[in-house]
Structure 1
């Protein structure tokens, strides 16, 4: 049997650098996930992989898997409240084939978009420690390195924003977080910021549907402008 094409090996290496299902680098997180698995044997309870288009021009960076959401389902923002607004908005702006994400076998596909997290494992109280964010940052850096020229990165919340900057080798002090803000990056890419679409933020109206959609409208304008320049 002939060996696989070289590009397949390169793709496998790239995928491994972006995600490791057996990662236990963070002792506290690994122990907590083990504990949750014992109580919920049907849950995914592993580092949650990125989800979406391998050729994405938009990458959405969340904080970390939720206890009964991605940690249970194995797909980012699936099974918890935060995913309701996110997937509905992705669908409205043409980035998703469905408006709801109910499970990994629901047939949903993302179009030109991918979702990942700053921390791949469930943290106690939804609060990863700074060391855990740093430990996971190499995976995010490897993923962002695959983005094409003119891409967009959407950070959901300050922690995701800061993790994205770290992954790109940029200083947070030069790129402050603000909802609706955006920062030019290398190669024509832009970092866009939004408050996290959590239950708390939406219930308190810190983040409304209109506010979230306005951020996506800005992203679409950026991507369309880049497509026009490339044409």
Structure 2
């Protein structure tokens, strides 16, 4: 267990990448498949991903990202979006029946339960829910990337409207995160964290 914990603790945001390192399409798909096991509200899985691994396009993305060099030198830039249209009960029913994880006789009850939940928390099918669900996916992806021997840096400092226009991203996709991924040339910044006592209260 200590090895697993050391691995999880060892994630750091890397900003210096080997610009010659290649990330194959097959490996990208494999990373995303593993990352997709992240939890999401009622398993709606609202994440949408665009991966850019063309250096000319990465240079343009760098211009739209406050000239941060890791956007250009990364092996690939993962752009993570959220799609509010994913919170669709018709899709939920068809998908879960097809995968045989919900019995046909239980569908009405399960859908009614989701409706009641969303009535209590309508924000969970809006941008707030997308940020939570895609954020969980993003954290999973960052650790999966490390498991394959690569590193990453989560970024929000970008002109996402400009990026969406440049890459012709669907207008209703909400930008959540940019994640340059590559082979580290230099370790990320060391972790400095508050002690647990400062942010935790245990109720017994």
Of structures 1 and 2, the larger Rg is shown by 2
Which TM-score applies when normalising by structure 1?
0.25
Structure with a larger share of its residues in helix? 2
Which TM-score applies when normalising by structure 2?
0.27
Q: Which has the higher contact order (CA 8 A, sep 6+)?
A: 2
